[in-house]
Amino acid sequence: MTHVRTAAMALVALFLVVAGAWASWNSAQHVLLAKGREHGTLSVTACTDETCSGRYVPEDPSSSRRTLTIARSVAAEKGATIPVVVKPGTDEGVRTGWGGGLHAWLPLGGALLLAAPLVGGGMRLPRTAWSLAGVGGAVLVAAFFAL
């Protein structure tokens, strides 16, 4: 019965971490693999509960200026100028730099924190659990300070 519990906890913890990585990769790929993508700055003019929008100024002078949206974070407020990379084929931007990269990996950090008690209590691997919690917490704290 112990092996069944350990296997079940391992599957749930693995599911949490994979789901967090999957959710993070949607934005993180544009930050990490930004070479060859359109870069510029976004001057925030308006924000809703979930997104902010504003005027986009591309680094390449031949590109057209347009309005972009970006996921709202604590650092995105009206009047802010944010360096962004444009998601290909959309009018959506992703914050670049350390702040953008850490913000993109927030779901993975949260998933690591959620998986830590399962690993520590259900699988009886306290050192591994503390490591997962430490890495997840470090991502969350670093994102807070980087933004």
Are residue 18 and residue 39 in the same domain, yes or no? Answer: no
44 and 84 both lie in a single domain: yes
* pTM for the structure as a whole: 0.84
Q: What is the pLDDT of residues 131-144, one digit of tens each?
A: 999 999 999 999 98
Give the residue, 62 or 41, on which the prediction is more confident. 41
| Domain containing residue 83: CATH number | 2.40.50
Range of the domain at 23: 2-30+105-146
pLDDT tens per residue, range 15-32:
999 999 999 998 899 988
Q: At what angle do helices 2-32 and 97-104 cross, to 10 degrees?
A: 150
Does 56 fall in a domain?
yes
Judge whether 100 lies within some domain: no
19 lies in some domain: yes
